[in-house]
């Protein structure tokens, strides 16, 4: 009997150890898959010649700040600068899961690219970054535009404090966050707000013809009003004739 109990206990211990090993292996595999999702493809090559600004703003995300130093921005966001880049190179890398910090445009630097994804993942992570930038530079804006899942976000922070945040995901037909008072450009818009009690009756609420559903061009219009629209960059005379930089997360 004692021998049977001993074997049983040993069996349970071995089972628990094996389950822990398999769980750790599974978690490691999942983490590797997540890390590979954020991994840029190919090596970055510095630009040798400057070019003219390029438009962007669809299927991208960006912060806007009035800053001078790329190095200062990179340090603030825990980014490693890989090297200088012109607009063509920088924008290509922004869609290659790296970050492009643009030359100044109308006094603003735009920090853009899918390399920001990991930086802003997690609850309110984008707000924390936005407040961090505005605490340093006085004002900072954040925009997100993705037509596939119809996710559209605009947010503004001043002196380290969030002043306005509006986020909508059309795929699920809901707002993800709304904070602060509408800014001047938003005041005449009856923007959808699924946090309102009347929105619980979805059929009646969404049949209101005055209701405004956010779209990708609206994000760009608000960006133009607050700072600068990245769709108005081509041929602009208000951009510095300089390189930007490409960076990655540390």
Please check whether residues 147 and 219 belong to one and the same domain: yes
Note whether residue 235 is domain-resident: yes
Going by C-alpha positions, the residue among 130, 230, 119 that lies closest to residue 179 is 130
Please check whether residues 102 and 17 belong to one and the same domain: no
Question: In the structure, what pLDDT confidence band is assigned to residue 31 with cuts at 50, 70 and 90?
Answer: very low
Note whether residue 38 is domain-resident: no
Residue 250 pLDDT > 90, yes or no?
Answer: no
Question: In the structure, what pLDDT confidence band is assigned to residue 75 with cuts at 50, 70 and 90?
Answer: very high
Note whether residue 52 is domain-resident: no
Note whether residue 86 is domain-resident: yes
Question: In the structure, what pLDDT confidence band is assigned to residue 12 with cuts at 50, 70 and 90?
Answer: low
Q: What is the CA radius of gyration of the chain?
A: 23
What is the extent of the structural domain holding 159?
Answer: 60-249
User: How many distinct structural domains can be found in the chain?
Assistant: 2
Please check whether residues 86 and 161 belong to one and the same domain: yes
Please check whether residues 97 and 197 belong to one and the same domain: yes
Cα angle for residues 124, 130, 131 (degrees, 5° grid): 90
Please check whether residues 87 and 209 belong to one and the same domain: yes
The percentage of residues in the chain with a pLDDT greater than 90, rounded to a whole number, is: 77
Note whether residue 40 is domain-resident: no
Please check whether residues 75 and 176 belong to one and the same domain: yes
Structure tokens at 152: 């559209």
Please check whether residues 132 and 20 belong to one and the same domain: no
Please check whether residues 9 and 72 belong to one and the same domain: no
Going by C-alpha positions, the residue among 228, 237, 233 that lies closest to residue 66 is 228
């Amino acid at each position: 009997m004692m021998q049977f109990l001993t074997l049983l206990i040993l069996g349970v211990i071995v089972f628990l150890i094996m389950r822990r090993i398999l769980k750790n292996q599974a978690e490691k595999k999942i983490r590797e898959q997540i890390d590979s999702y954020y991994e840029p493809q190919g090596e970055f090559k510095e630009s040798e010649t400057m070019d003219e600004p390029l438009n962007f703003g669809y299927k991208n995300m960006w912060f806007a700040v009035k800053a001078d130093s790329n190095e200062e921005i990179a340090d603030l966001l825990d980014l490693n600068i890989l090297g200088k880049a012109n607009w063509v190179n920088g924008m290509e890398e922004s869609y290659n899961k790296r970050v492009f910090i643009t030359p100044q445009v109308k006094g603003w630097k735009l920090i853009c690219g899918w390399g920001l994804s990991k930086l802003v993942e997690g609850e309110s992570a984008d707000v924390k970054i936005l407040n961090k930038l505005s605490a340093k530079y006085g004002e900072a804006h954040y925009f997100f535009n993705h037509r596939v899942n119809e996710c559209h976000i605009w947010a503004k922070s001043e002196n380290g404090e969030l002043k306005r945040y509006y986020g909508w995901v059309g795929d699920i037909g809901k707002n993800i966050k709304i904070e602060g008072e509408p800014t001047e450009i938003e005041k005449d818009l009856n923007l959808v707000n699924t946090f309102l009690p009347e929105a619980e009756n979805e059929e009646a609420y969404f049949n209101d013809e005055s209701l405004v559903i956010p779209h990708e061009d609206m994000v760009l219009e608000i960006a133009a009003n607050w700072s600068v629209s990245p769709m108005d960059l081509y041929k602009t005379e208000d951009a510095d004739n300089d390189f930007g930089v490409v960076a990655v997360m540390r």
